[in-house]
Chains A and B, each alone.
Chain A
Amino acid sequence: AQKVTQAQTEISVVEKEDVTLDCVYETRDTTYYLFWYKQPPSGELVFLIRRNSFDEQNEISGRYSWNFQKSTSSFNFTITASQVVDSAVYFCALNTNAGKSTFGDGTTLTVKP
Chain B
Amino acid sequence: GAVVSQHPSWVICKSGTSVKIECRSLDFQATTMFWYRQFPKQSLMLMATSNEGSKATYEQGVEKDKFLINHASLTLSTLTVTSAHPEDSSFYICSASLGAGQGRNTQYFGPGTRLTVL
A residues contacting B by CB (< 8 A) are 31, 33, 35, 37, 42-47, 50, 52, 91, 95, 97-101, 103-106, 108
Contact = CB atoms under 8 A, between A and B. Distances in A.
Contact residues of B: prevailing secondary structure: loop
5 contacts: A35-B106, A45-B109, A50-B106, A95-B107, A99-B100
A81 B44 CA distance: 28
Interface of B: 2, 32, 34, 41-44, 46, 49, 91, 93, 95, 97, 99-102, 105-112, 114
A91 B93 CA distance: 14
B106 A44 contact: no
Contacts of A42: 111
A99 B99 contact: yes
B94 to A, nearest CB: 11
